[in-house]
Structure 1
């Protein structure tokens, strides 16, 4: 059987069919850039309209001449005319808003002009430059701790659904969420500061108190570990004995008067952290990750004494540099252990390195506790109730200053955590319960995957999607300050700036406050979209 072949012209025969070209990086990023531009433009328009509304409300609600109208000064009329001229009150509010907006627009060329306070004659930019760092210092720690603790406890509650632990967490969440913030702050000042400072005069506990705290610790640990009745009783017994021994030792040795971790404490806490981090990130069956984490602990403990030399001349930048070096060292150790998945070992080792470095740092701060507490300005009452620092504290030692900042932060931070923690716990619990009932979770279990892998790798990421709406907005609200908490603890932040300016009928600082908070919230809404796209592969950010 003959086969016929049809020949092609030379130019067609040698020409390959066109191949589809992969889209260039510029072409792939064009939709995202278009989306980002549209969101920024729409957000700018929203912010512009919001500033106009707020400016008009302040112009008609606040009367800077109110104090002069009630004045009995003989030159009352001249004073009124002078203030009208200085504040440009004879100009329509809409025109004044345009003039104020012109000063804001000059921020684009580095010449911001948000006006001046007519009460203190201080530039609004300088007022914000003082208030914003103070507010971020106060609220940043509480916000991130509340987010972390809320998610962890909420997930643990969801995994222990309908148990005693779940009911307890649910009850405490509703109680904390219902408490007024001013009441919580006052109770903390009464018990957390005054009561604890009185206790430090003779920090010893009676035998019934030690037993009661030990039993409470055992109940908490057995609820966290869960399992059958035999396992619960074993955990309860071990935890009760360990807690009781630790509390008795602290009481008998007066540890609270001169606390420290020492190298032994760093070693014990480091090993415990290595096992815990490995169990969560890689699983204890991953021996390479576990050995990398334990090696990181060994390196950190070996550097305990050598680090005391740079700590003698410590500064904020030195601590940041050492933290970066700890992360890099942990990743290097994880990489050297290798294995089929070096990324897991590197991540586990890096997290462990950060924790070990934190323990060493905390131990160094503890070393100055006795010196700080016995100073003339502190007089044995280290937990502060007002302000952000102790006035007239002698010396500028980095560690004393750090400890002083911590003692002033501890009460307002706890007050803010207790309130925010409740909402994050409820969000994360409800979200994880919904995810755990999805078909792909049942499929993962049917394939025989360990429960840790199902929870951490499959369920946890999708459970974070609803929180992606709340968390960025809460972080943006950091710059708005905690008005009630700042007022009770006499903290000079953004909340205090807002209240003081509003009470003094000072519009420009109030507008500066609103501009900062509004801008951060608008940007947070844009960030939410990108977080959605990162967490959920079904969502694409495009035009």
Structure 2
């Protein structure tokens, strides 16, 4: 591993230097810092041109200017944007922060939803559910992102804000949506007609109960989870996680998950006090998340047994989900003052922050979430289609392999065949796709950022090109090129981790 990292790092640095040199030459040819002065009608135009040439060293050979810039880079100086006079590192820091928020949310949601739906679609090959997913995937993949973004601004922002003035859902709509959700679940679960009818009834009833609860309690006006709903969602999560990864027959894993849920509900009110008094940054939340996962892992370890590691991983997963629900509940508690501060229109259509909003840490988090909603949904809808297709095709290929037939012939349960033998190997192609996609998005979702006016990396690049500022452009290229090289190294490591046949030091 060490030899691999040394070789790839050395090759990556050499590639980065050559790429930066070539890009510097191309960017220098593409921009003209004198364009506005050449078109000027000022009487001292030539004097202004000469002054700018001297200020920007435009009379120096471009190769010499590159090595001057590169030498400054090695000392940590990224230069200054000459039009605004702002340091490039400050511009880059804000842009990276805005883009990182968007990329993290969009990538996690797209991968989880896309891979899950794609694998279920593969397991239900040539069924009605499979055909529906194939149709939706191709439809979403073919849609231009700017068109999706504009539709979301119209219906998910403006339309939803109008709806919140009088958030009443018609009962025929509730019944229709519940039946549709139940139908999708019955198609996804599959089985005999009797089983499908049973799933249809249960899923429709559950969805009807949820929507009726939202309607009758005025939940949309003051959303919250609370201890009771936390217990219900936590129990459902525990059964789902155990059922998929351990099997409900594994009593230790099941009791681990349910114990973690009980602990989460018991600690609900003490955690509220902790959130109000201690939490002031994302780093504190990250530390609490690590502590939460460790607690869940410890519960599984204490239950013991020959497969205690499976119980421990189950406990950690359930604990993280419970912690996430408590975090979301805390954010929801500031919804009403946030809603009133924005005059009843809480879903914004541009920017990444509300100017002069004020408020504590939780208000700022909620404001960040609402600004992320639409651009994240845009990227998720587009990426969901590709991840669904990748995971479906990969799972179909894996399930036709000889070792899958051997596992079934040995009498292993179908759940075990799919999760332990099929799922892991189906992730191998995604190990090379996801890191590259993440780095591509870190370079800036230029169209999405433009539609929603998010000051991210893409907008920094476009604006700097328009202003003929080479230092911010080169800083952008430095970050994206470095991350691209890093993504390839990470992809190789993940690939080798998933597939034990791969040896990095071979």
TM range (shorter): over 0.9
**Whole-angstrom CA distance in 2 between matches of 1:494 and 1:383:** 23
Taking the aligned partners of 2:90 and 2:357, their CA distance within structure 1 comes to: 25
1:140 to 96, 101, 104: 104
* Cα pair distance change 1:115/1:232, threshold 3 Å: same
Q: 1:271 aligns with which of 235, 241, 244?
A: 235
- The residue that corresponds to 2:451 in the other structure is 488
TM superposition outliers: structure 1 runs of 4+ over 4 Å: none
SS in 2 for 1:415: helix
Q: 2:58 aligns with which of 89, 97, 110?
A: 89
Q: How many residues align?
A: 504
Q: Distance in 1 between matches of 2:303 and 2:495?
A: 34
Structure 1 residue 51 corresponds to structure 2 residue 20:
yes
Note if contact 1:384-1:407 (Cα within 8 Å) is conserved in structure 2. yes
Q: Whole-Å Cα distance in 2 between the matches of residues 58 and 365 of structure 1? A: 44
Instruction: After TM superposition, give the deviation of residue 241 of structure 1 in Å.
Output: 2.1
Aligned residue number for residue 219 of structure 1: 183
Aligned to 1:298: 262
- In the alignment, is residue 196 of structure 1 matched against residue 165 of structure 2? no
Shift of 1:478: 3.5
| Corresponding position: 1:102 with 2:71 | yes
Task: Give SS of 1:307's match.
Answer: helix
Q: Is the 8 A contact 1:387 1:490 kept in 2?
A: yes
Q: How does the TM-score come out when normalised to structure 1?
A: 0.91
**CA shift digits 1:501-531 (9 cap, x unpaired):** 0111111111110110001001111122222
Instruction: Find out whether 1:409 has 2:375 as its counterpart.
Output: no
Matched residue, 2:42: 73
* Counterpart-to-counterpart distance in 2, 1:272 and 1:207: 26
Distance between the aligned counterparts of 2:293 and 2:2, measured in 1?
33
Structure 1 residue aligned with 2:428: 465
- Cα offset, 1:324, TM superposition: 2.1
The one of 380, 385, 397 equivalent to 1:434 is 397
Distance 2:456 2:382 in 1: 19
The answer as to 2:131 corresponding to 1:162 is no
Residues 103 and 438 in structure 2, CA contact (< 8 A), matched pair in contact too: no
**Distance across 1 between alignment mates of 2:121 and 2:386:** 13
Q: Mean alpha-carbon deviation: is it higher for 422-431 or for 92-101?
A: 92-101
Partner residue in 2 for 1:185: 149
Structure 2: 5+ residue stretches without partners: none
> Which of 270, 278, 288 is the equivalent residue of 1:322?
288
Residue 3 of structure 2 corresponds to which residue in structure 1? 34
Task: Please list the CA deviations of residues 287-344 of structure 1 after superposition, one character each: whole Å capped at 9, or x if unmatched.
Answer: 0110011011111111112222112223234333322221111111111110111101
Contact 2:257–2:315, Cα closer than 8 Å, also in 1: yes
Is structure 2 residue 303 aligned with structure 1 residue 340? no
CA RMSD of aligned residues (A): 1.3
2:84 to 108, 120, 125: 120
Cα distance in 1, alignment partners of residues 89 and 69 from structure 2: 13
Moved more, 318-327 or 282-291: 318-327
Q: Report the Cα offset of residue 80 of structure 1.
A: 0.5
TM-score, reference length from structure 2: 0.97
CA contact (8 A) 1:204 1:252 kept: no
Q: 1:381, CA displacement in angstroms?
A: 0.7
User: Structure 1, unaligned stretches of length 5 or more?
Assistant: 1-31
